[in-house]
Amino acid sequence: MSPTPTHHRTRQRQRRRLDGDDGLIGGADGLIFGVMVFLVGSLLVANVWSVIDAKLAVTAAAKEATRAFVEAPNGETGFAEAEAAATQVVAGHGRAPDRLTITAEPGTTFVRCAPAGFTVAYQLDLIAIPFLGGTGRGFTVAATHRERVDPFRSGVTNPTGTLEEACG
């Protein structure tokens, strides 16, 4: 059975419509562009999460460093315990401790009621590719935490002599 004349004309119109590039939507270039947008978006999300994760890690490290200092038996071991605590927290978050910088806030002394604080900073990569590592000098994420040395603690020096004067 041969095709009807109407059916034949319809097929010719469809063939003419598809002969050139006119009317085609997408193609190899559209597919490549879509994959590139997906990859760049995935890298962007991974890098944003890296910053958030690093901020959480340095915040916890600063808090633990300060807590270790104010709970130390004396000032000499306080600084060493603060550094060890911050390093341990950062390593526990899966970060490299060699990129960590720990700094005591100005005026941090081991005196009853004295304010003590530590700033912890971590250097991030510019581009971090999950499971492959990172490259480039990125930026620094930092956090600071402050506390007071316990006013009722024994064995802590009090330069003024009385509790009321020291804690004001």
Q: Which tens digit of pLDDT belongs to each residue from 18-74?
A: 555 555 566 777 888 888 999 888 888 878 888 899 999 999 999 999 999 998 888
Task: Note whether residue 34 is domain-resident.
Answer: yes
Task: Note whether residue 2 is domain-resident.
Answer: no
pTM (2 decimals)? 0.72
Say if residue 128's pLDDT is above 90: no
Task: Note whether residue 38 is domain-resident.
Answer: yes
How many domains, the chain?
1
Which of 40, 41, 47, 114 has its CA nearest to residue 75? 114
Lowest mean pLDDT among 55-64, 128-137, 139-148: 128-137
- In terms of residue numbers, what domain contains 48? 29-167
Query: Of the segments 24-28, 94-98, 152-156, 157-161, which one has the largest average pLDDT value?
Result: 94-98
Task: Note whether residue 19 is domain-resident.
Answer: no
| Confidence class for position 146, pLDDT limits 50, 70, 90 | very high
Task: Note whether residue 11 is domain-resident.
Answer: no
